[in-house]
Amino acid sequence: MLLAELTRILRRTKFARVITASGASLDDLILGYADLATLTVPAPIPPTVLRDPDDDHVLACAVAAQADLIVSGDTDLLTLKTFRDIPIVLPAEALRIVTAP
């Protein structure tokens, strides 16, 4: 489900230039990401993001994977700030966190 969402998002016009400049095709990027990802069965959670219920899949996978962070630019997720003690942060903040000494 989340790989399909990533594919849908990366097909947006605003990403076309960056993907083309990378020298890789969208399919190459998705397959490369899939190779790095660990498939996780989402944990059962109650409806949480009422405005966009598809975002609940992100939360459910993060819980099941015992994630340290949820990294997103999605306003509905970022508004939560945390979910079950998992911080929800922008990519720039995630980079700061994972590269901090």
pLDDT for the residue numbered 63: 98
pLDDT in tens, 26-84: 999 999 999 999 889 999 999 999 999 999 999 999 999 999 999 999 999 999 999 99
Q: Are residues 30 and 58 in the same domain?
A: no
Pair (51, 73) in one structural domain: yes
Place of tokens 């989340």: 2
Res. 11: pLDDT tops 90: yes
Band (pLDDT 50/70/90 cuts) for residue 5 is confident
Residue-range definition of the domain harbouring residue 5? 1-37
DSSP 3-state assignment of 87?
strand
The kind and range of the H/E element at 61 are: helix 55-65
Q: Please check whether residues 79 and 93 belong to one and the same domain.
A: yes
